[in-house]
Structure 1
Amino acid sequence: MIKKILSCLSAFLMLAACQQEEVIQKPEGLVPESKMISFLIDMHIAEAKMGYLQVKDRDSLEIIFRNYEKALFEKHQVDDSAYYHSYEYYLADMEKMHEIYSAVVDSLSVLNSIEKNKDLGISEE
């Protein structure tokens, strides 16, 4: 699962780096990096969970994901438009986006290790 996410993130970042540089103004209500990282961690976990659901209808899966996404916006107290504008802003600065996604990937790796240890019956002390 983590390898799939890492592959997708790497491809995404490479594609984004190839795009023309465009100056994007700092949006009003910019989501702070720490909150963006926390939100993205939960978003990628939600995306991974969607892959494990036994839902064959893509429309139904889309509805489930949108409801999950809405719950994440509420949980993190982030407005969806503020998130999308902030994401575009950070994406325009590839160094900053790399830092954000490095933190996301590191956190997902730690969470994955914790889950593997639980499966093996190893405690985290």
Structure 2
Amino acid sequence: MKKFSFRVTMWVGALALLVTACQKADDIAPPRQLIPRDKMVSLLMELHTLEARTDAAGLPIDSARALFHEAQKNLYWRYEVNDSSFRQSYRYYAVHDKDLDEIYAQVVDSLALREVQLQAANAASAGTPAPTPPPPRN
């Protein structure tokens, strides 16, 4: 019985994925709790920074995963979103390819600028010349 229910679930999931993949971007309505683009950029920046910090912590995988999920919940709480609204918003922006590309262009540029500012602050405290920022993306 377990094999059967697993196979049915697998086929239903595959069918649902196929149906959503075949939909045009215009056919998919925004979710009720769509996270605005600027908030999504900030949230993604924080999530990627959190992920990098967790990776750099050098913890065992299970501890790092637990730490990341706890910090992720706190981050969602600070931004007043839940994981469901984040996933639905991310999916909506992903289906609208150009939107997600533009969001991630802002995320990458902002993280690069943050890195240059951090390097400049470190260079100033060490007495070395500051690095130049990367050129903006078009």
TM-score, normalization by structure 2: 0.70
Q: Please identify runs of 4+ aligned residues in structure 1 that moved more than 6 A.
A: none
How many residue pairs get matched? 103
Distance 1:99 1:27 in 2: 19
Match of 2:116 in 1: 113
Instruction: Structure 1: state its 5+ residue gaps.
Output: 1-19
Conserved? CA contact 2:55–2:64, under 8 Å: no
Which structure has the bigger radius of gyration?
Answer: 2
Counting only pairs closer than 5 Å after superposition, residues 1-125 of structure 1 correspond to structure 2 as 20=21, 22-23=23-24, 24-55=28-59, 57-121=60-124
Cα-Cα RMSD = 1.5
Query: Does the 8 Å CA contact 1:90/1:96 hold for their aligned counterparts?
Result: yes
CA-to-partner distance for each residue in 1:15-74, whole Å, 9 max, x for gaps?
xxxxx553432111111101100100000100110121021x211110000011011101
Match of 1:5 in 2: none
More relative contact order in 1 or in 2 (CA 8 Å, sep 6+)? 1
Distance 1:111 1:51 in 2: 19
Q: Provide the residue aligned with 1:15 in structure 2.
A: none
SS in 2 for 1:121: helix
- For residues 41 and 113 of structure 2, the distance between their equivalents in structure 1, rounded to whole angstroms, comes to 14
For structure 2, the 5+ residue unaligned runs are 1-20, 131-138
Give identity over the alignment, percent.
30
Q: Quick one: distance in 1 between partners of 2:23 and 2:86? A: 19
**TM-score where L is the length of structure 1:** 0.77
Moved more, 22-31 or 61-70: 22-31
